[in-house]
């Protein structure tokens, strides 16, 4: 990340706008320092750390205390640099949670959403509560790892988490609780649980009743930009830092990424590209009609009382798992090497639907790709480059499919697609996405979630008037690369073949 401007302005004695964003992704976390200098945003990465899930006793967990330790390391690095922080905030992935006991201590390590304890849970819930009822009350897409199904799985297993827990906190809320001692949930992440009613603006008490879940577990809900607390005395004493204000931002990292989209018009389409790909548009009110349910779109909370009408796509998780498998086999391959090898492989040799349930759990992804291709009557990609190319081309083609659904559902036509997130460093994927959708792709910023986190803190403190001023400043502060579509006919023919092979159809 660029840091010269931050260092120079610090030496000049300016630091009144210094804020810190902790952005936790499914594979890594980072602490990003932000500062406003001469009307622009300057950022510096202070700390980066892995976020590796832990397999133990046949279960997959998040190492939540390690994440908390790394957050404290980020605060120490700011302190050792002599940085006087105006505030801090945390964003992370959605749906996962921890339980506090009566003594206020964490009960157990939070489950990872890819853990198999939810297998069959969604189907079980839908046997008792019709999908039409759940969607009409929440507007959230049906994914097997949603919080609602995790909780029901625990309920059916008579988990001691539920019998001993008194308060449920989503992952960023839990980490914020460790820092401040204040227990609050936050709007954007609360909506992803499929237990929050966007029409009433509160937890849906009828769904909780039907599932025999306690309303008292969930507490109040803060909006992005609300002050959630300050570093508590024990943390200040341990780290030797002042009692820094801690804000609730768009704590679902996609919500923060969308806040950072440098759009110039209210009508825009975005793709937050990382371990998951999330594509959609921003709307003032949730779209909760029959078509939205049939297309399995979701209405997640956004900043400034907006909603994110979007669809989840499996994303770069598939290539990440392939890379892990190749490393286990002794092949150490960087992501730039994988991109180069993909570019050298033969085009359109095979297709996968990235959202096939085969690709959801961790494991031997190259073998699963081979299994999918055999199942669909295709030639199996054999080489590393061929497998990587199959993944990247299939993602680009799935992006076209979802973008067209987004236009149909929202009643809008988009002139292009904004791509943000770490995945835009894969320039080949950005170009192939432009080719597939037949429209321009505007890629940037790469650290979208962290920058959106910073922006909401500045809005809360009056440095920006609103989200649109923040987006203008983001646009002027970070490079955005434009990709023009190429080989239109060839990619259209590939899309027709992709739809046929995968069997995906529009409703």
Q: Considering the domain boundaries, does residue 121 fall inside one? A: yes
The helix/strand/coil state of 34 is: strand
pLDDT confidence of 29, banded at 50, 70, 90? very high
pLDDT at 6 over 50: no
Helices (H), 142-186: 147-156, 160-164, 171-180
Considering the domain architecture, whether residues 268 and 382 belong to the same structural domain is answered as: no
Q: Which of 394, 424, 449 is where one domain is finished?
A: 394
Give domain status of residue 502, yes or no.
Answer: no
Domain boundary among 394, 425, 446: 394
Decide which of 216, 247, 278 is a domain's last residue.
247
pLDDT band at 507 (very low <50, low <70, confident <90, very high): low
Round the average pLDDT of the chain to a whole number and report it: 95
214 in the same domain as 107:
yes
Question: Are 189 and 57 in a shared domain?
Answer: yes
pTM score, two decimals?
A: 0.93
- Give catalytic residues, as residue numbers: 253
Task: Check whether 169 has a pLDDT greater than 90.
Answer: yes
Is residue 501 assigned to a domain? no
Quick check: is 40 in a domain?
A: yes
Residue 8 falls within a domain, yes or no? yes
Is 197 in the same domain as 104? yes
Q: What is the pLDDT of residue 265?
A: 92
* CATH code of the domain covering residue 144: 3.30.420.40
214 located within any domain? yes
Same structural domain, 73 and 24: yes
* Whether residue 88 sits in one domain with residue 146: yes
Q: Residue 301: beta bridge partners?
A: 307
pLDDT for 16 equals 81
* Residue 505 within a domain: no
pLDDT surpasses 80 at 1: no
* Same structural domain, 283 and 364: no
* Count of structural domains, the chain: 3
Q: Is the pLDDT of residue 187 over 50?
A: yes
Judgement on whether residues 355 and 422 belong to the same structural domain of the protein: no
The reply to whether 404 and 366 lie within a common domain is no
Structural domain span for residue 404: 253-313+397-491
pLDDT tens, residue by residue, 116-166: 999 999 999 999 999 999 999 999 999 999 999 999 999 999 999 999 999
Beta carbons within 8 Å of 87's beta carbon, 6+ residues apart: 19, 20, 244, 245, 246, 247, 457, 460, 461
Q: Encode pLDDT of 141-154 as tens digits.
A: 999 999 999 999 99
| Residue 347 shares a structural domain with residue 478 | no
Residue range 472-484, pLDDT digits in tens: 999 999 999 999 9
Answer yes or no: are the C-beta atoms of 423 and 273 closer than 8 Å: yes
Tell me the pairing of strands 40-50 and 28-37.
antiparallel
- Do 247 and 457 form a contact (C-beta atoms < 8 A)? yes
In this structure, are 214 and 323 located in the same domain?
no
And the tokens for 371? Answer: 């299994």
Q: Is residue 38 one of the residues assigned to a domain?
A: yes
Do 304 and 322 lie in a common domain?
Answer: no
């Amino acid at each position: 990340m660029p840091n010269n401007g931050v260092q120079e302005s610090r030496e000049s004695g300016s630091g009144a706008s210094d804020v810190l964003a902790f952005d936790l992704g499914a594979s890594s976390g980072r602490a990003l320092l932000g500062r406003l200098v001469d009307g622009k945003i300057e950022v510096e990465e202070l700390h980066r750390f892995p976020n590796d899930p832990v397999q133990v006793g046949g279960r997959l967990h998040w190492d939540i205390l390690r994440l908390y330790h790394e957050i404290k390391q980020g605060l120490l690095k700011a302190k050792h640099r002599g940085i006087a922080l105006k505030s801090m905030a945390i964003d992370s992935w959605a749906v996962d949670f921890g339980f506090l006991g009566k003594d206020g201590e964490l009960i157990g390590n939070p489950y990872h959403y890819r853990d198999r304890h939810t297998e069959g849970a969604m189907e079980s819930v839908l046997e008792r509560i019709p999908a039409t009822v759940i969607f009409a009350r929440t507007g959230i897409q049906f994914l097997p790892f949603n919080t609602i199904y995790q909780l029901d799985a625990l309920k059916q297993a008579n988990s001691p988490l539920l019998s001993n827990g008194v308060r449920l906190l989503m992952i960023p809320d839990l980490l914020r609780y460790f820092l401040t001692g204040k227990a609050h949930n936050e709007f954007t992440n609360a909506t992803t649980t499929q237990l929050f009613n966007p029409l009433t603006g509160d937890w849906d008490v009828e769904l909780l009743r039907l599932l025999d879940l306690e309303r008292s577990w969930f507490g109040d809900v803060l909006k992005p930009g609300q002050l959630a607390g300050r570093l508590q005395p024990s943390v200040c004493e341990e780290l030797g830092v002042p009692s820094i204000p801690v804000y609730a931002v768009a704590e679902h990292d996609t919500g923060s990424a969308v806040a950072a989209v440098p759009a110039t018009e209210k009508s825009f389409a975005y793709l937050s590209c990382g371990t998951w790909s999330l594509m959609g548009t921003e709307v003032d009110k949730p779209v909760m009609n029959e078509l939205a349910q049939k297309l399995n779109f979701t209405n997640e909370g956004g900043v400034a009382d907006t909603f994110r009408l979007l669809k989840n796509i499996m994303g770069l998780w598939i290539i990440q798992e392939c890379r892990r498998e190749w490393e286990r086999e002794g092949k150490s391959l960087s992501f730039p090497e994988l991109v180069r090898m993909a570019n050298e492989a033969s085009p359109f040799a095979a297709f996968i639907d990235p959202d096939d349930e085969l690709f959801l759990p961790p494991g031997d992804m190259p073998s699963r790709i081979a299994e999918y291709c055999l199942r669909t009557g295709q030639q199996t990609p054999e080489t590393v480059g061929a497998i990587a190319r199959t993944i990247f081309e299939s993602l680009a083609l799935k992006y076209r499919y979802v973008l067209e659904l987004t236009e149909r559902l929202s009643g809008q036509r988009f002139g292009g697609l904004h791509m943000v997130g770490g995945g835009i460093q894969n320039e080949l994927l950005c170009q192939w996405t432009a080719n597939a959708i037949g429209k321009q792709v505007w890629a940037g910023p790469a650290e979208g979630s962290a920058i959106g986190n910073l922006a909401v803190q500045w809005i809360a403190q009056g440095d920006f008037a609103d989200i649109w001023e923040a987006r203008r400043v983001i646009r002027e502060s970070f490079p955005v690369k434009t990709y023009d579509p190429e080989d239109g006919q060839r990619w259209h023919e590939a899309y027709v073949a992709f739809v046929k092979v995968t069997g995906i159809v529009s409703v």
